[in-house]
Amino acid sequence: MEPAVPQHVLDAFGAPGVAVRLAGGEERTYRAGGIVLRRENPGEIADAEFAADLFGGIEESRDFRLPRPLRTPQGTWLTRDGWTGWTFVEGGAAGPADAPAMVRAIEAFHRAIAGVPCPAYLCSRALLYDRADRGAFGDLPPDVDARARPVIEELCALRRPLTGLTDQLIHGDANAANVLIAPGLPPAIIDLAPYWRPPEFALAVTALWLCAYHGHVEAFAAFEHVRHFNQLLLRALIRTLLVMDAFRGAEHLAEYQPSIDIVRRRLTR
């Protein structure tokens, strides 16, 4: 049987021994010693190259750590068949008690990248995630499942204008699995999902997964200072439901009902 990580990929990044698949990572991320290997989706090659360029040049701070990208012998960030290599960073998925440190890390990370110009390819990127993102801030896609559409339209009716926020490059999926916690170290931010939105939205996405989805409403306290937080949390929820509709189907809507109830209560209290 052919190994999950081909030998030429191990060789390209100097990875020792046998690669072991990591939990999460969409079952396409592996570790070999101090190196993490990831098979990139064909539609996200531009994202992978951009993330490597970005993470290769950011200076860490006392508030956040980063993995570093590795080049192949040819000087590229990806092998010919779409694998990337990164340095391994210690840590596990964040929990509700880690919310203050997560907020500091995400805020510091976005300050560090605030001057990065919008990558041109983002304007033409047309992933289903992009459709969901546009729907969260604007008009809904026309083909939302009829079983989910009434719920999503009800949430959209709660949207109010956002003023005073500035778009920039953000990590659009800084969920608890992408912000790693290790004792005595600042959180590590991994798996960049590039979007052009206010940095406050990145925090709202974090709060949706950390606080609402898992019912840890006490952890919202770490996010209450975020400008337009409830409105951005609402948009993060709408985006998540549109992603669910596109990838998993409206039959999974019940899984998100607790989150819907929590966000709705925050907007109508």
CA gap 103, 206 in Å, rounded: 9
User: What pTM, to 2 d.p., does this model score?
Assistant: 0.95
The residues near 202 (Cβ < 8 Å, ≥ 6 apart) are 106, 110, 170, 171, 172, 174
User: What's domain 7-88's architecture?
Assistant: 2-Layer Sandwich (3.30)
Name the pLDDT band for 1 (thresholds 50, 70, 90). Answer: very low
Q: What is the mean pLDDT of residues 4-17?
A: 94
Strands (E), 74-228: 83-87, 92-93, 168-171, 179-181, 188-189, 194-197
Model confidence pLDDT, tens digit, residues 174-196: 999 999 999 999 999 999 999 99
Q: How much of the chain exceeds pLDDT 90, in percent? A: 94
The distance in angstroms from the start CA to the end CA of the chain is 58
Residue type, 82: G
Domains of the chain by residue range = 7-88, 93-268
Q: Is 93-268 assigned to CATH 3.90.1200?
A: yes
What pLDDT, in 10s, does the model give residues 75-111? 999 999 999 999 999 999 999 999 999 999 999 999 9
Q: Do domains 7-88 and 93-268 have the same CATH topology?
A: no
